[in-house]
Amino acid sequence: MAEFNLIQNYFNFEQDLSKSVVKAIGDDCAILDIPKGRQLVTSTDTLISGVHFFDNIDPADLAYKALAVNVSDLLAMGAKPLAFTLAISLPGINASWLEAFSQSLQQAAQNFSINLIGGDTTQGSLSITITVYGTLKKGKAVLRNGAQLGDDIWVTSTLGSARSALKLHNKDSLSDEQKLLWQKLIRPQIPFKFAKRLNKFATAAIDLSDGLLADLGHIMVQSQLGARLMVETLPLEEALIEQEGIGQARQYALAGGDDYQLCFTAHKKYRKKILYHAEKTQTQVTRIGKIIEQGYQVLLNGEPLAITENSWQHFQANL
């Protein structure tokens, strides 16, 4: 199958195009209109087989996660998803694999209200690069450098489950608790609805991809402030606690990656507003700490907690 036949058969799927998409797939370039008073934001992530996902992952799960983790970056900026491109390297043409992948990608794109507008296909080891585009009102981006002294630190959903699930890959059968953890890894439920109003209350935000300690550290560096975490408040799945024990579960919540939830800071005056919005969007949110003048304090019931797990580091870790 030639490249353009592959694109036509699997990736030129039907979709309701945004009014801002003037031209999508079919020409040398896509064309986007940016409405007056708005800015374009963009982010790129590459997922490589054996590094970011297991070789035998279901293609439907892979397609969903590849798009979700990129859209997660837009949500952390307070941006509205607009469009994305897909560059995929394939070792060969496997029709059933491609059909499952493309159908799942189309469904995920519809769920996230984002249009596929182009990309590239080539032969080689399996890897996926997605570039996402979003828009937001000028000056309304939620940046990492906006945290203020005394701000609350919040996270959405639960943490640590995806890290625990990495150990379940080679198991022949999974318990109900293990299946829940596995789903957290392969199909992270990003806080899509909650993030739509993030810039109404957040001073800084980041999506949790490399682990809470590492990612919150980026906010601290950019904002030139410190943080105090209350480990006993970390939101944990009961399945994670049953699988790992409370001590290890907390370590995974602090350092484990692949959660793709939001960590954000906000003034304490917005506590009720945040909780109301969370209830309205059926999103779990938890206040886990506070922005301080300097230092990184990780406390369990007021006492320093030793960290025994390492956050994800590119070029130093793989699956």
Q: 160 and 123 share a domain?
A: no
Residue 214 is encoded by which pair of tokens? 């590492």
How much of the chain exceeds pLDDT 70, in percent?
A: 97
Residue 65 lies in a domain: yes
> How far is residue 200 from each of residues 29, 165, 226, measured CA to CA in Å?
35, 34, 23
Q: Is 313's pLDDT higher than 90?
A: no
Q: 187 and 126 share a domain?
A: no
Name the pLDDT band for 54 (thresholds 50, 70, 90).
confident
pLDDT at 12: 81
Rg of the chain over all Cα atoms, to the nearest angstrom: 20
pLDDT at 315: 44
pLDDT at 169: 84
pLDDT at 4: 72
Residue 312 lies in a domain: no
> How far is residue 112 from each of residues 33, 60, 188, 210, 288, measured CA to CA in Å?
19, 16, 13, 22, 28
116, 137, 158 - which closes a domain: 137
118, 137, 156 - which closes a domain: 137
pLDDT, greater one: 246 or 169? 246
84, 118, 137 - which closes a domain: 137
Q: Is 2's pLDDT higher than 90?
A: no
Total structural domains within the chain:
2
Q: 8 and 108 share a domain?
A: yes
How confident is the model over 256-284, as a mean pLDDT?
Answer: 97
Q: What is the DSSP string of 96-114?
A: HHHHHHHHHHHHHHHHTT-
Name the pLDDT band for 319 (thresholds 50, 70, 90).
very low
pLDDT at 52: 85
Alpha carbon distance 187, 260 (integer Å):
10
The residues, any chain, with a CB within 8 Å of residue 306's CB and separated by 6 or more, are none
Query: Can you give the CATH number for the domain in which 249 is found?
Result: 3.90.650.10
pLDDT at 318: 45
What 3-state class would DSSP assign to 193? coil
Q: What is the mean pLDDT of the chain?
A: 93
Q: 37 and 174 share a domain?
A: no
Q: Is 178's pLDDT higher than 50?
A: yes
Residue 168 lies in a domain: yes
User: How many C-beta atoms lie closer than 10 Å to residue 226's C-beta?
Assistant: 16
DSSP 312: P
By DSSP bridging, strand 127-137 and strand 80-90 are: antiparallel
Name the pLDDT band for 306 (thresholds 50, 70, 90).
very high
Alpha carbon distance 185, 167 (integer Å):
11
Write out pLDDT tens, residues 202-220: 999 999 999 999 999 999 9
Q: 32 and 151 share a domain?
A: no
Torsion of CA 43, 48, 50, 55, to 10 degrees: 110
Q: Is 61's pLDDT higher than 90?
A: yes
Torsion of CA 246, 313, 151, 39, to 10 degrees: -130
pLDDT, greater one: 52 or 314? 52
pLDDT at 34: 93
Nearest to 70 by CA among 156, 24, 23, 131: 131
Q: 37 and 154 share a domain?
A: no
Name the pLDDT band for 6 (thresholds 50, 70, 90).
confident
Write out pLDDT tens, residues 112-169: 999 999 999 999 999 999 999 999 999 999 999 999 999 999 999 999 999 999 988 8
* Range of the structural domain that residue 297 is part of: 144-304
Query: Can you give the CATH number for the domain in which 63 is found?
Result: 3.30.1330.10
Alpha carbon distance 256, 186 (integer Å):
14
How confident is the model over 264-277, as a mean pLDDT?
Answer: 98
Task: Please calculate the CA angle 67-73-78 and round it to the nearest 5 degrees.
Answer: 125
Residue 125 lies in a domain: yes
Q: 25 and 84 share a domain?
A: yes
Name the pLDDT band for 15 (thresholds 50, 70, 90).
confident
Q: Give the least confident one: 78-87, 88-97, 204-213.
A: 88-97
Q: 68 and 196 share a domain?
A: no
Residue 227 and residue 296 in contact, taking contact as beta carbons nearer than 8 Å: yes
Q: Give the least confident one: 93-97, 226-230, 259-263.
A: 93-97
How much of the chain exceeds pLDDT 90, in percent?
A: 82
Residue 2 is encoded by which pair of tokens? 């030639």
- Residue for token pair 């309701």: 16
Alpha carbon distance 107, 136 (integer Å):
24
Q: 13 and 131 share a domain?
A: yes
Residue 318 lies in a domain: no
Alpha carbon distance 216, 273 (integer Å):
22
Strands (E) across the chain are located at 21-23, 31-32, 38-48, 80-90, 115-123, 127-137, 152-156, 202-207, 226-230, 262-266, 285-292, 296-300, 303-304
Residue 317 lies in a domain: no
Residue 310 lies in a domain: no
pLDDT at 1: 62
Residue 144 and residue 220 in contact, taking contact as beta carbons nearer than 8 Å: no
Alpha carbon distance 281, 299 (integer Å):
30
For residue 109, the Cα-to-chain-centroid distance in whole angstroms is 15
Q: Is 26's pLDDT higher than 90?
A: no
Q: Is 285's pLDDT higher than 70?
A: yes
Q: Is 317's pLDDT higher than 60?
A: no
Nearest to 143 by CA among 190, 76, 86: 76
